[in-house]
Structure 1
Amino acid sequence: MSQTLYFSLRLLSNCIISQSGATAGDHGCLDYLPGSTLLGVAASRLYADLPQEQSNLLFHSGLVRFGDALPMSNGEHSLPVPLCWHHIKGEGIYQVSEPQLNADALFDPSRKSPAEGKQPKQIRAGHVTASGQLLKAHLDYELKTAINAETGSAATSQLFGYQSLTAGQEFVFSITIDAQVDASLVQQLEQSLVGPVLLGRSRSAQFGQAKIQKITGLPESTPVSADKTLRLWLLSDLALLDDMGNPQVTPTAKALGLPEGSEWQVNHSFIRTRSYTPFNSKRRSYDLARQVISRGSVLVFSLPRALTDQELHGLRFAGQYQESGLGCMAINPPLLANATPVFSAAKTVKVAAPKPLSQPNSLLTRVLQNKHAALNLNGEIEEQAQKLVAAIQSALSSAARWVGLPEGYYPADIPARTQWGEVRNVAVTYSKQPEKLAYELFFNGEQNSKNNNAHAIMRKRAGQPAWKLEINATETLADCIEQALQVIPANIRGQVLALACTKLMSDKRLTQSQQGAKA
């Protein structure tokens, strides 16, 4: 028997996983992370330190299979959408809104014909959860140019672009390990993966940062016997060979190890194929080209007899390159049991509790703790700055209504870019002195007082008209800003104000001084 380990992977920065290893032409990005990428992470950390025999066992024998990392949303994992699912062209597939699918809108045309005059359309992209959520990867595209090493400027005619998976997305992958692999070796493998990792292309730039954690609670897929009908849902690409050792993209019973007399039901199957040449970054060269049946394909076979439990268990993986995640299949899965899918309640995974550090008082621990605290503080500053900007925008809208301007317009005397910049400079200068900051911004003493600060930016008397802009009968814009700052923690008040001013300076709607400037 075998054991399966499950891990979650969260992207901390954009990640480039190219569909092709070609160096010319535009680059498309996969909407998942292939098992070969995760194998490479483990190999980069273990290969050189292990004896050759153990390295071969982990990375070349096929006894350890690194599965593809597939999208996860709200703790629920997904699988490649099956190509047998169709919907009526021109009609919606969602129950109310994305991403919840409407099961009644989906059907398998080989088992349920559409109404007369209706045209079926195949769903070819995305990943589906057991509860019917259709997850689609979020992708970015960035245009770049090579740099001339001699001049330090952009190189001529060397413009290129990268499509990448955006940061913040979560994925789930599994590692299936046969019983022949020693438990201590499995533990080393697990420890090599957990923690920060670098993935994909351009790792030396700003791409590829991710974090891996072990998880539990993922439901195990149990092969189900369905008498003399076998339905295989490819969860990853499938690479088969014919009797001569050549690639074949037509599935046969013999290539899959099915009993003699089994027949492929072409009219009930749905397949797509592709060809690609993977690039091995360790060797700096290409591997052999692969012709595969694409993930998501559905293969249906008629059998001369029902399969035994041992035969069903052996069918979970088939074909070549299993160590890299290829050949993983779901056998008679519940989602494909009927012509129309039946979705179940959502089942979420659980992240394993992190193990305590062996040296809690070490220098490394303190550095990491300080960085973690800084990240949390930066997040709070960003959140408070957004609230402050919203409060200022609301005050300006109130000022517009007070003078009778129509909805969507601001008064003429709103603060200009230079005025926000002046406030920002003061906020930066006194970011750690909240009392001094308030004094420099809002001093409201008597005009002839000895303590009168004539340079206070938002002073009520003899100040600039923008800060005396009336919000209502009793309040000005300066009053509004002063009140909004009071609810912000004193230790971050200056940083929040500086960031808010930066946001306001970049908002053209709030830096126009013409009468009736449009909001």
Structure 2
Amino acid sequence: MEQLKFKVTLLSDVIISESPATQGRHRGLDFIPGNNFLGIAASRLYKDIGENTHTYLLFHNGHVRFGDANPGYKGIRGLRTPSCFFKAKYTDKLPWKDGDKTRLVHHRITDFKPYLDAQLKQCRSGFMVFEDKTAYEISLSRNYAIKSAYDSEKRRAEDEKLFGYESLTKGSVLYFCVELDDDAMGCKDEMINALTGLRHVGRSRSAQFGLVKIEPFNYQDVSACSSEKGQVVVYADSRLCFFDAEGQPTMCPTAEQLGVKGGQIDWSKSQIRTFQYAPWNYQRQAFDDERCGIENGSVFVIKGTTDATENIVGAYQNEGFGKVLYNPSFLMTGENGKSLFTFEQAMEENGNHKADEDWTQHFSNTTLLSYLKNKKTLQKEEKTTYDLVDDFVKAHKERFSAITPSQWGTIRGIAMSADQEEKIIGFINTFIHKGVAKDYWEERGRGKKLIDFLEKNRTIVSVRDLVINLSSEMAKEKNR
């Protein structure tokens, strides 16, 4: 078996829905499920080579598994916050200092009395990156947008068709892997080529959402697992789906279904969360079978055995379901359930700037992007012009109080009518030193101050725009 590791950079906001429903409150996931990458690869390869034994090997018999994309930190893929982690609501009530940097592992607490006043609460959101003895807490930022359906006949928003979407923000970076069994190793290059590049994921891909860049990246995984005495702790690295003996979905798997031989699940020590949804199949335009399962981050404690054999369990493994870790080192504790790790908030990494660079490099030759870049430059220059004029008026309006609005109007007309921008300053200089108001301009160095101001900023902004805006503002000041 071989793992192909990839990095996903969001070049726009991405909508990954918790449910395919179009009514009611919309909630988005904070990771990208593996079935999105399966769909990307399938759409590419089916288009190139059609339906045959080759595509069946890749997508329909479990030899290739597409993992979930989780956020990371420092080049390390994050893990869903374990459900067995608890923190104190009142950290000053804990029997040690730095309570805000401490977490308790529920199934390892032997005496809850010292923690009663602190009021423990479960950690239920976000991801964590474990490095050495520090656990960095990660939370992806999300946006919320409200959209309306468009009525093409009436050319306006359609009545009673308002939608709200929660999305992952542009610039976020996530990591995922694709696992190839030995039978599928010959398809390695094809899989890399099918996934790598600019792709679209999630909902509203035809609008402004869903653009991502996927590239190979050798990120780091969680550290090695530890050993437990007389028990196995199972951590769900991805979502899990199981079926009972009658073929019905179950949220109460057996120890054997979790890849552990012998033993019994201690439900009083286990911490699990569940999900339920029916995926929408675009090809068939219908819902697939409902998925009922256990959320990633859930923790099972299995007593009476130490024999753990598999790390991929349950159903829908090719879509990223079923990955588990046995006795992970980040669940080890010291006295009375206190975690051995120090918990800190991860510093924000500069992903947005990198996403802008990737987008610009790919579309650098398109007419639309050239227009948008030019528009952005003009807006920036316009703001600079307004700031320069505002500063000049505030600093020198008293000095130029003797200059009449008609004089400023003439200067404005010179700037607007000049055929070449580089000649404007010369024309203005001639006007103020040879015109009928020559004495007023030379008094208190008004003319020299104006010319010096224009010369100083001619390389920063458009002289024409600078003179037009300055003349208008100075004339207004005179009339006030």
**If the TM-score is normalised by the length of the shorter chain, which range does it land in?**
0.7 to 0.9
Q: Which moved more, 1:239-248 or 1:30-39?
A: 239-248
SS at match of 1:191: helix
Mapped to 2, the partners of 1:178 and 1:87 lie a distance apart of: 40
Task: Report what 1:371 is aligned to.
Answer: 365
| Letter of the 2:124 counterpart | R
Residues 131-163 of structure 1: CA distance to partner in whole angstroms, max 9, x if unpaired?
422221222222222122322222222222222
Is the 2:88–2:99 Cα contact (8 Å) retained in structure 1? Answer: no
| Letter of the 1:265 counterpart | D
- 1:25-40 to structure 2, matched below 5 A, reads 25-40=24-39
- 1:399-414 to structure 2, matched below 5 A, reads none
Task: Report what 1:241 is aligned to.
Answer: 243
Change (3 A) 1:229 1:33: same
Is the 2:75–2:219 Cα contact (8 Å) retained in structure 1? Answer: no
Q: 1:135 aligns with which of 138, 141, 161?
A: 138
| Letter of the 1:318 counterpart | V
Is the 2:77–2:219 Cα contact (8 Å) retained in structure 1? Answer: no
Residues 37-64 of structure 1: CA distance to partner in whole angstroms, max 9, x if unpaired?
1110101111241552221221121221
Task: Report what 1:89 is aligned to.
Answer: 89
How far did residue 388 of structure 1 move?
8.4
How far did residue 34 of structure 1 move?
0.5
- 1:70-149 to structure 2, matched below 5 A, reads 70-91=70-91, 104-112=101-109, 113=112, 114-131=114-131, 132-149=135-152
How far did residue 278 of structure 1 move?
0.9
| Letter of the 1:320 counterpart | A
Task: Report what 2:322 is aligned to.
Answer: 327
TM-score by length of 1: 0.69
Task: Report what 1:465 is aligned to.
Answer: none
1:157 maps to 2:190: no
Task: Report what 1:269 is aligned to.
Answer: 270
TM-score by length of 2: 0.74
Instruction: State, as a whole percentage, how many aligned pairs show the same letter.
Output: 29
How far did residue 282 of structure 1 move?
2.1
How far did residue 222 of structure 1 move?
4.4
Mapped to 2, the partners of 1:297 and 1:479 lie a distance apart of: 70
Q: 1:181 aligns with which of 184, 197, 200?
A: 184
- Larger gyration radius, structure 1 or structure 2: 2
SS at match of 1:335: helix
SS at match of 1:180: helix
Change (3 A) 1:483 1:326: farther
Mapped to 2, the partners of 1:391 and 1:449 lie a distance apart of: 25
Change (3 A) 1:391 1:514: closer
Mapped to 2, the partners of 1:388 and 1:484 lie a distance apart of: 13
| Letter of the 2:325 counterpart | A
Task: Report what 1:412 is aligned to.
Answer: none
Mapped to 2, the partners of 1:437 and 1:281 lie a distance apart of: 58
- 1:462-473 to structure 2, matched below 5 A, reads none
SS at match of 1:192: helix
Change (3 A) 1:383 1:246: same
Task: Report what 1:457 is aligned to.
Answer: none
Task: Report what 2:7 is aligned to.
Answer: 8
- 1:54-453 to structure 2, matched below 5 A, reads 54-91=54-91, 104-112=101-109, 113=112, 114-131=114-131, 132-183=135-186, 185-219=187-221, 222-260=224-262, 262-304=263-305, 306-307=306-307, 311-312=308-309, 314=310, 316-338=311-333, 339=337, 340-342=339-341, 370-371=364-365, 389=383, 393=387, 396=390, 436-437=420-421, 439-440=423-424, 444-447=428-431
Residues 465-507 of structure 1: CA distance to partner in whole angstroms, max 9, x if unpaired?
xxx9x9xxx967x966764563x5xxxx55x998x9xxx9xxx
SS at match of 2:183: coil
Count the aligned residue pairs: 422
Is the 1:221–1:330 Cα contact (8 Å) retained in structure 2? Answer: no
- Structure 1 residues without counterparts, runs of 5 or longer: 93-100, 347-366, 405-418, 455-460, 463-467, 505-509
Mapped to 1, the partners of 2:464 and 2:51 lie a distance apart of: 58
How far did residue 226 of structure 1 move?
2.9
Task: Report what 2:349 is aligned to.
Answer: none
Is the 2:421–2:464 Cα contact (8 Å) retained in structure 1? Answer: no
How far did residue 271 of structure 1 move?
0.7
How far did residue 268 of structure 1 move?
2.0
1:17 maps to 2:16: yes
SS at match of 2:160: strand
Residues 343-395 of structure 1: CA distance to partner in whole angstroms, max 9, x if unpaired?
5999xxxxxxxxxxxxxxxxxxxx96843999799779958976985796598
Is the 1:395–1:480 Cα contact (8 Å) retained in structure 2? Answer: no
| Letter of the 2:239 counterpart | D
| Letter of the 1:446 counterpart | T
Q: Which moved more, 1:53-62 or 1:384-393?
A: 384-393
Q: State the structure with bigger RCO (CA 8 A, min sep 6), 1 or 2.
A: 2
Mapped to 1, the partners of 2:157 and 2:371 lie a distance apart of: 37
